[in-house]
Amino acid sequence: MVFGSGDRPGVREAAEQLRPAIEKCCQVVLWDLTYTEDLSAVEADLAIVFGGDGSILRAARQMGYRQTPVVAVNLGRLGFLADLSAEQLLDALPDICAGKFRVVEHLMFECRVERAGTVVSRDLGLNEVAVLAGQPFTVLDVHLYVDGELVTTYSCDGLIVSTPVGSTAHSLSAGGPILRKDLQAFVISPISAHTLTNRPVVDAADRVYELVVPSPNEGSAVVVDGRVLSGLLPGDRVRVNKAEPRFKLIEVPGQGYYRTLREKLGWGGQLNLGQQ
């Protein structure tokens, strides 16, 4: 299968240029640059995704509970997940089709919004769940429960529950730690917490995490991987737990987790103090 954000500049053109080389190595059973095709009857050994990390999230959402190993080609900006260039894809594709690769499985989650005991919204995600304050942008009190036990109440602009893959996204910007992508854990990071004692927390992925906002703002919402899942009413419970499917990323020789961190996040290793 081939996916891509065909609405982004240059993605459709680059994918079409590479199409003859792809079809030379593979039998293409689906070519979808709009993320609209029904995958329920599609059987494939791998998926090639063109774009950036946002394209990866869209592909993972489209595949849903039938995750296919992904070859990620970066045509965006950062490309933390989409790590291969178009040229590297051409070099690696024959080996990939010959089975010379490693599949790294990553944690995914299910998010449900429960209102008066009824599930009103649910989604499958890869990066993170965020409860955001919204208009009129006053501080929220967010209760965090783990396996039904109250952990603490955050006074903050929002709260993020992130997978290791998502730990280098919104959670990192909020001051959260970086978790190695194949760990089975969640990190909870408050956004602009109104206290010096609240810090990000890392806990096991096999627990159930619940976020409750007693008095949400008019525009408060639950956001999954950058998409609004639901608005919030008083007493809603946002439940996050490990999902059965795993996101499967194909890693070719020469790629490595810390190499990606150095190159994508600018870990130079030395301070450039300049001349005095």
User: Is residue 240 helix, strand or coil?
Assistant: strand
Confirm whether 83 is a catalytic residue. no
Per-residue confidence (pLDDT) for residue 238, from 0 to 100: 98
Amino acid in position 140:
L
- Alpha-carbon distance of 241 to 255, in angstroms, equals 30
Q: Which amino acid is at 18?
A: L
pLDDT at 271: 42
Task: Provide the pLDDT for residue 10.
Answer: 87
Contacts of 260 (CB under 8 A, 6+ apart): 80, 83
User: CA 60 to CA 78: how far, in whole Å?
Assistant: 18
Query: What pLDDT sits at residue 256?
Result: 67
Instruction: Catalogue all structural domains in the chain, each as residue range(s) with its CATH number.
Output: 2-107+246-265 (3.40.50.10330), 109-242 (2.60.200.30)
Q: Which of 32, 45, 53, 225 is catalytic?
A: 53
pLDDT of amino acid 276: 38
Phi and psi of 259, rounded to 5°? -60, -45
Q: How many CB atoms lie within 10 A of CB 135?
A: 9
State the pTM of this model.
0.90
Helix and strand numbers (H, E) in the chain are 5, 18
Max distance between CA atoms of the chain, in angstroms, equals: 66
For residue 36, give the 3-state DSSP assignment.
coil
Interatomic CA distance for residues 243 and 107, integer angstroms: 8
> What pLDDT does 78 receive?
61
| pLDDT on residue 255 | 66
C-alpha neighbours within 13 Å on the C-beta side of residue 214: 6
Residues 6+ apart with CB under 8 A from 153: 141, 142, 143, 144
Ranges of the chain with pLDDT below 50:
271-276
In the chain, the amino acid numbered 200 is P
Residue 228: the pLDDT is: 97
What DSSP string runs through 103-166?
EEEE--EEEEEEETTEEEEEEEESSEEEEE--TT-PPEEEEEEETTEEEEEEEESEEEEE-TGG
What integer pLDDT is reported at residue 269 of this predicted model?
57
- Quote the pLDDT of residue 192: 93
Structure tokens at 183: 């760990």
- pLDDT value for 254: 67
Provide the pLDDT for residue 272: 45
pLDDT score of 252: 78
- In this predicted structure, what is the pLDDT of residue 79? 63
